[in-house]
Structure 1
Amino acid sequence: MKYKLVERGKPGDPDAPKKLYASPVKTGTKTISSLSGDIADISSLSRGDINSVITNLVERIPKDLLEGNSVSLGELGTLRISFSSEGVADEADFHTSKIKGLKVIFTPGKLIKEELKRAKFNK
């Protein structure tokens, strides 16, 4: 895995000395189409079949997340919704407009975690 060194200051302390930190280098982007082709090369399914399944999965996941479900994708990992809200002293004062920062949390599965432990780094 490629990395570069990036100089960063300490958040909240502009006078603190800056330090160098490793940052991953993005070397490209894999699209659904290219992933489908890669998977088709090692399976009995066609690129179109795989592309259709991935596209349908991507369309389905947000619906399940918004219904309050976590979505387990086996060895790939699990997706779940998280958010924060402003605090109120009394329940009657709470309104959904106080909910902020809706995001999706991805927790990698065991296989991905094990593979990441084998990472080798190149500057």
Structure 2
Amino acid sequence: MSVKYTLSEKGNPSNPNAPKKWYASAIADGELSFRELSKEIAQGSTTVSDTDVMAVLNDLIKILGRNLSSGKIVRFGDFGSFQLTITSEGAATEQAFNASLIKNPKIQFRPGKDLKDITKTVTFEKYKR
């Protein structure tokens, strides 16, 4: 199975006079729902049902959120890690800075080795409309 992509022509924002170039963008080719994910995990085990897996994953989401919001990095072994990142507006002095200048909190995922290795073997196919 290949990752599908489309092409779009884009200009260089820092040099509007430069010739436009063509760039690839990956496109999604379906999705796996939470329920389908749970069923697939359960199929790999003879001891848990998809309902059990869903319950564990629901708790995982709650625990992940609670720990990220307290500033912790949450590591999932070989799967990868999650961390909250932020950006902020600038202040003229350190004393002038306050938390209201912090904007755009995001959750960053850093894949573990096995997931990173997938990027070395993935193939690509131009999307046919």
Question: What is the TM-score of this pair, normalised by structure 1?
Answer: 0.90
Give the distance between the partners of 1:5 and 1:90, measured in 2 at CA: 45
1:36 maps to a residue whose letter is S
User: What CA deviation, in whole Å up to 9, does each residue of 1:63-86 have, x standing for no partner?
Assistant: 101111001111211110111222
Give the distance between the partners of 1:7 and 1:75, measured in 2 at CA: 38
Residue 72 of structure 1: aligned partner: 75
* Structure 1 spans left out of the alignment, 5+ residues: none
Does residue 39 (structure 1) correspond to residue 41 (structure 2)? The answer is: yes
1:112 maps to a residue whose letter is L
2:112 maps to a residue whose letter is G
How many percent of aligned residue pairs carry the same amino acid?
Answer: 38
Aligned partner of residue 39 in structure 2, secondary structure: helix
RMSD: 1.5
2:75 maps to a residue whose letter is S
Residue 21 of structure 1: aligned partner: 23
2:4 maps to a residue whose letter is K
2:43 maps to a residue whose letter is D
* Structure 2 spans left out of the alignment, 5+ residues: none
Residue 82 of structure 1: aligned partner: 85
Aligned partner of residue 92 in structure 2, secondary structure: coil
1:33 maps to a residue whose letter is R
Question: What is the TM-score of this pair, normalised by structure 2?
Answer: 0.86
Residue 11 of structure 1: aligned partner: 13
Give the distance between the partners of 2:40 and 2:13, measured in 1 at CA: 41
Give the distance between the partners of 1:14 and 1:59, measured in 2 at CA: 46
What aligned pairs does 1:47-58 form with structure 2 within 5 A after superposition? 47-58=50-61
State the number of aligned residues. Answer: 123
Higher normalized helix content (fraction of residues): 1
After the TM superposition, which of the residue ranges 82-91 and 104-113 deviates more from structure 2? 82-91
